[in-house]
Amino acid sequence: MPAALIPRDEVVRRLFDAFRTFGYEGATLARLSEATGLGRASLYHYFPEGKDGMAREVIALAREWIKSNVNAPLVNVGEPATSRLKTALRNVANGYDNGRAACLINIFGIGDANDVVREALRETASLYSHGFERLLLDAGVQKSKAREISFDTVIQIEGALVLARALDDRSVFTKRIQKLEKQYLELIG
């Protein structure tokens, strides 16, 4: 019985990349096989539920990524608010490869996903704004205002990614992240 070529986590990470590059429908098993280096049969060994199961695990990875790379830094009360924000935004920029990579929240929102995927998507999108909201509340911003701004933050991230891809110009994204940082520093600095 041959050993696993790569850890399961790494398989999921590569699937994640493939899904957000090609979209759900565009991510064919041939491409997923190439992205992971695993044959189709091996993919079905890892994911008996097939492509749908892969998608579910990939969304779960996205959720964990947001938790550890965005929300955890933002609510890390040991640090001053400004450096918490900078860490989170740096992680956001890196996570999207500075605008080259798309967001799964967008990708899986296209087409007719099943209910499980749709609910996971809703939860993940909601989670995304929570960290920013907490940071603003900690900094003394009023609740309704904090909610509005944190929503606005996710909207700007998603919109900038879309426009950067359409214009084929990453700076549209990186500049927007810089502008977000500036806006936050005016509020919480």
Partner DNA sequence: GTCTATAATAGGATAGAC
Partner DNA sequence: GTCTATCCTATTATAGAC
Q: Which residues bind its own copies (CB under 8 A)?
A: 21-26, 102-103, 105-112, 118, 121-122, 124-126, 151, 154-160, 162-163, 165-168, 172, 176
CB of 51 to DNA, least distance (A): 4
Q: Which entry of its own copies, DNA, none binds 83, CB below 5 to 8 A by partner kind?
A: none
**Among DNA, its own copies, none, residue 5 binds (CB under 5-8 Å by kind):** DNA
30 binds, among DNA, its own copies, none (CB under 5 to 8 A by kind): DNA
3-state secondary structure (DSSP) of residue 127: helix
Number of CB atoms found within 10 A of residue 113's CB = 17
Binding residues vs DNA (CB under 7 A): 1-6, 27-30, 38-42, 44-46, 48, 50-52
Closest CA to 58 of 49, 157, 6: 49
- Residue 157 partner contact from its own copies, DNA, none using kind-dependent CB cut-offs of 5 to 8 Å: its own copies
Q: Minimum CB separation from its own copies for residue 153, in Å?
A: 10
Q: Output the DSSP codes for 45-104.
A: HH-TTHHHHHHHHHHHHHHHHHIIIIIHHHT-TTS-HHHHHHHHHHHHHHHTGGGTSPPH
Least distance in angstroms from the C-beta of 56 to its own copies: 16
From the number of C-beta atoms within 10 Å of its C-beta (0-12, 13-18, 19+), residue 12 rates as middle
Q: How far is the CB of 43 from its own copies (least distance, A)?
A: 19
**Dist. CA 156–CA 154, nearest whole Å:** 5
Residue type at position 133: E
Query: Residue 163 binds which one of DNA, its own copies, none, with CB within 5 to 8 A depending on kind?
Result: its own copies
The least distance separating DNA from the CB of residue 29, rounded to whole angstroms, comes to 3
